[in-house]
């Protein structure tokens, strides 16, 4: 009975770790629209767009193109009235407004808040405000994989600061946390394999002993 409980426990831990690793890999390049303090049931803004709807960052011209905002519809970063650009490209600080097709203006320079595109990592951090019926605070924070946006813009050279298409998180590779859990996953797989190999060897040994005992008893009689 204890062996059965042990096996079940191993499988439960294995699948929990596997799901944690998968969460970190799959949920990428998206921001959350929070409508309460704990940010439950948040709307998702998807930055994993196709090349047909490209989103670009340019040091001089600012941000252009569209991303998909769920209930916010298509969000345009360079509308005819407004636009998002760099207030300071050395720090990656953004300013200006984008436009949601269903909810109106999205402000990237709200008083008391800010959104920064890290010039060395491309990670977005901060809060923007979306007005209108589907609006709320838009969270950018790569400490939370479910609200992590990472773009390829870097303030390192004129070549890299030219128009740059958003890349998927998967193209960058897994995070250190993901690698850590993957290694734990591999350890558990090794433990499970060793356990079943030992069990199989025990079964073979028992079978061999039983057959030999039967043969000896048959010979004796």
**Do 73 and 134 belong to one domain?**
yes
**Do 97 and 195 belong to one domain?**
no
Please tell me the predicted confidence (pLDDT) of residue 210: 63
User: pTM of whole model > 0.85?
Assistant: no
Q: Is there a domain that residue 180 lies in? A: yes
**Do 189 and 148 belong to one domain?**
no
pLDDT tens digit sequence for 160-204: 443 444 444 444 455 555 555 566 666 767 776 666 666 566 556
- In a 3-state reduction of DSSP, which class is residue 57? strand
**Do 108 and 124 belong to one domain?**
yes
Handedness of CA 129, 85, 46, 24 (dihedral sign): negative
Please tell me the predicted confidence (pLDDT) of residue 22: 37
Helix (H) or strand (E) holding 160: none
Count of domains observed in the chain: 2
**Do 206 and 107 belong to one domain?**
no
**Do 138 and 37 belong to one domain?**
yes
Q: b/e for 29-41, b at 16 or more Cβ within 10 A?
A: bbbbbbeeeebee
Please tell me the predicted confidence (pLDDT) of residue 55: 84
CA angle 206, 198, 15 (to 5 degrees): 135
- Give dist(CA 56, CA 36) in Å, integer: 30
**Do 199 and 138 belong to one domain?**
no
**Do 106 and 66 belong to one domain?**
yes
**CA dist 118 → 99, 131, 151 (Å):** 23, 25, 9
For the chain, how long is the longest CA-to-CA vector? Answer: 102
Please tell me the predicted confidence (pLDDT) of residue 183: 66
Q: Is there a domain that residue 219 lies in? A: no
Residue ranges in the chain assigned as alpha helix (H): 2-26, 169-172, 176-220
**Regions of the chain where pLDDT drops below 50:** 15, 17-27, 157-172
Which domain, by its residues, includes 116? 29-167
**Do 13 and 86 belong to one domain?**
no
**Do 84 and 147 belong to one domain?**
yes
Pairing of strands 115-117, 30-34: unpaired
């Amino acid at each position: 009975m204890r062996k059965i409980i042990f096996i079940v426990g191993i499988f439960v831990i294995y699948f929990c770790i596997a799901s944690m690793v998968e969460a970190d890999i799959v949920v990428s390049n998206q921001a959350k629209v929070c409508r309460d303090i704990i940010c439950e049931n948040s709307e998702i803004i998807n930055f994993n767009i196709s090349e047909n709807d490209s989103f670009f960052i340019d040091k001089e011209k600012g941000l252009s193109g569209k991303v998909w905002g769920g209930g916010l519809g298509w969000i345009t970063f360079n509308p005819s009235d407004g636009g998002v650009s760099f207030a300071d490209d050395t720090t990656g600080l953004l300013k200006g407004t984008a436009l949601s097709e269903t909810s109106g203006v999205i402000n990237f320079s709200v008083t008391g808040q800010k959104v920064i595109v890290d010039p060395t990592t491309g990670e977005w951090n901060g809060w923007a405000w979306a007005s209108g019926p589907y609006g709320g605070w838009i969270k950018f924070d790569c400490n939370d994989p479910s609200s992590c946006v990472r773009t390829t813009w870097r303030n390192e050279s004129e070549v890299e600061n030219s128009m740059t298409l958003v890349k998927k998180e998967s193209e960058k590779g897994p995070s250190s946390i993901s690698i850590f859990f993957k290694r734990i996953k591999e350890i558990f797989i090794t433990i499970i394999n060793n356990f079943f190999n030992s069990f199989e060897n025990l079964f073979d040994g028992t079978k061999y002993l039983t057959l030999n005992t039967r043969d000896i008893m048959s010979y004796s009689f």
